[in-house]
Amino acid sequence: MTSQLLIRSLLLRNRIPSHCLGSVTSIFKISRSYASTQPKSSSSLTEAKQRSELSEEVKPLGEKIKENTKTASYMGVILLGITVTGVMFFAIFRELFSSQSPNNVYSEALEKCKNDTRIQDALGAPIKGFGEETRRGRRRHVAHTVYEKDGRLYMRMQFYIQGIRNKGTVHLEMRMNDKGKYEYRYLFVQLDYYPHQTIVLEDNRSSDPVPQGNQGYSLQTLN
């Protein structure tokens, strides 16, 4: 009431028409009502937030078990993926960089052939190596065979070399020694042109372990 009297006196002092008094008074009432309802709305929001937090804390036991099971299954899938990826990378690393891998055996034998002066004279430098060829002329990976004999591992391999003049076929066999490393049993190149000369680079067949009951057995020809 006091506020309305103050507003009326201000209007009369400033010579504002009396019909504007009702509008100003209604605006004043609306502002007061809005100010009075503002704390109530904020308090209601606080109560709703507290209720939601309370409802989250008081979740049923079944829902918690489901969530934990789902999380554990996701973690299991992730760990399985990491394990499989690690095994794949290990296999690739072993295949490419291990000295006992077929890829390294091929690379080492090819370098021996390239550096042999007899092969350079017969084929013509530079010399390149490759695997089997398809009918369309596509070259495959170098074929190899790993087998066990008398408790030892052997690796047999065949690939081809070509110079600027002629071609040749490389035959090799590796034998694993007592230290677990491959060593040459034999390595030779057979030239593809007449008279099909054979150039022997390694021949350690004389040091083959002699099986029991075959004393005096020796190899006379290249296998």
Residue spans of the domains in the chain: they are 102-207
Give pLDDT, residue 47: 64
219, 208 in Cβ contact below 8 A?
Answer: yes
**pTM for this prediction:** 0.53
pLDDT tens-digit series, residues 107-116: 999 999 999 9
Locate 197 and state its tokens. Answer: 């000369």
Q: Which CATH class is domain 102-207?
A: alpha beta
Instruction: From 165, 148, 166, select the one nearest 156 (Cα to Cα).
Output: 148
Cβ within 8 Å of residue 18, ≥6 positions away: 11
pLDDT > 70 fraction of the chain, expressed in percent and rounded = 57
Locate 105 and state its tokens. Answer: 């055996």
For 4, how many CA atoms within 13 A lie in the half-sphere containing its CB?
9
What are the angstrom distances between the C-alpha of 107 and each of 95, 104, 123?
A: 12, 5, 19
